[in-house]
A = this chain, B = another copy of it.
Amino acid sequence: MRILGIDPGSRTTGFGVIDIVGKDSVYIASGCIRTPPNAALPRRLHIIAEDIFEIVKRYQPQVAAIEQVFVNVNPSSTLMLGQARGAAIAALTLNGLSVFEYSALQVKQAVVGKGKAAKQQVQHMVMQMLKLSEKPQADAADALAVALTHHLRNHLMMKNLGARKVKGGRFV
């Protein structure tokens, strides 16, 4: 199972690819899509969408996970972030990928174990879980964290389901 995590942003969109091998998560790739801040909006959204096409083509993930974004205090920033996120999600779905959304709270809970964890703790846990010797860029680390979140939450769900008894074809 290969998961592509995306951390959308108006200037920088992080991506991270991990493989799930048995119980282990294995680092495959990560990086950032950067858009020139002075370019026109359609050009910036095109770069995001096109780069995601390229990443999907290269790494062939089976599923995508993306961070839910905060509504910013600045409405123009919210609009811009929404547009970048919309372009990213459209590019993922156009490639036939199912896209799962996770809030920052869910990511922290899954990766660190508590919803109030600092950003640095999340990055530290990403490095530990994926056995990275170097710290990835912040946006790439966030993308890896959301990919890990998808795995950890599904793994947990499967474990819980496994613990439940089946009677007459139904969980009881």
Contacts and interface: CB of A to CB of B under 8 A. Distances in A.
Contact of A42 (B45, B48, B71, B99): B99
Chain A interface extent, by class: 35 or more
Interface string A107-123: 00000000000000000
Interface in A87-143: 87-94, 98-99, 101
Nearest to A83: B86
Interface in A8-48: 40-43, 45-46, 48
Contact of A53 (B48, B86, B88, B94): B94
B42 A86 contact: no
Given A78-B82, A101-B42, A90 B91 contact: yes
Given A50-B94, A94-B49, A101-B42, A79 B69 contact: yes
A81 interface: yes
Interface of A: 40-43, 45-46, 48-50, 53, 69, 71-72, 75-76, 78-94, 98-99, 101
Give 4 closest A-B pairs by Cβ, nearest first.
A82-B82, A86-B86, A83-B86, A46-B93
